């Protein structure tokens, strides 16, 4: 079964172009070092039907002018993720890539997930 790193973050709509540029750099970098798939998804239909749970904007506490980005990276296993992450974090371009983020990093939610159903 695969392993997934998942992220949910609020991004100011005015920063979406800068976020997309950063995300494209991330995709190229993670894929270069072996990630199987890389996704960055911006909120489109964030209104959930009544009784269906908490909508992303409420859960992440978006502020006026913000939207939600849901992102995930797929690996073969946790060991594979750890090896890829070590290479990504050692990439010479990494320090410059993280100096100015187009979102509030402190409000990002993230974690590693062991896949239990795949198909």
Q: Whole-model pTM? A: 0.92
| Domains and their CATH numbers in the chain | 3-45+53-114 (3.30.70.100)
Place of tokens 């913000």: 66
- Break the chain down into helix, strand, coil percent, rounded to 5: 40, 25, 35
Report d(CA 29, CA 88) in Å as an integer: 7
What pLDDT is stored for residue 45 in this prediction? Answer: 92
72 vs 96, more confident: 72
Render pLDDT for 3-25 as a digit per residue (tens, 0 to 9).
Answer: 999 999 999 999 999 999 999 99
Neighbours of 54 (CB within 10 A): 9
Residues 6+ apart with CB under 8 A from 80: 3, 34
Angle at 49 between CA 44 and CA 55, to 5 degrees: 55
Render pLDDT for 29-59 as a digit per residue (tens, 0 to 9).
Answer: 999 999 999 999 999 999 888 888 889 999 9
């Amino acid at each position: 079964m695969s392993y997934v790193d998942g992220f949910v973050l609020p991004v100011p709509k005015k920063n979406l172009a800068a976020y997309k540029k950063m995300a494209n750099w991330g995709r190229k970098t993670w894929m270069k070092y072996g990630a199987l798939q890389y996704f960055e998804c911006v909120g489109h239909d964030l209104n959930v039907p009544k009784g269906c749970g908490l909508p992303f904007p409420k859960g992440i506490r978006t502020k006026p002018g913000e939207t939600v980005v849901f992102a995930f990276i797929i690996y073969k296993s946790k060991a594979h993720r750890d090896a890829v992450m070590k290479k990504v974090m050692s990439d010479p371009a990494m320090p410059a890539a993280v100096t100015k983020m187009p979102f509030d990093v402190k409000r990002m939610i993230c974690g590693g997930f062991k896949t239990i159903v795949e198909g």
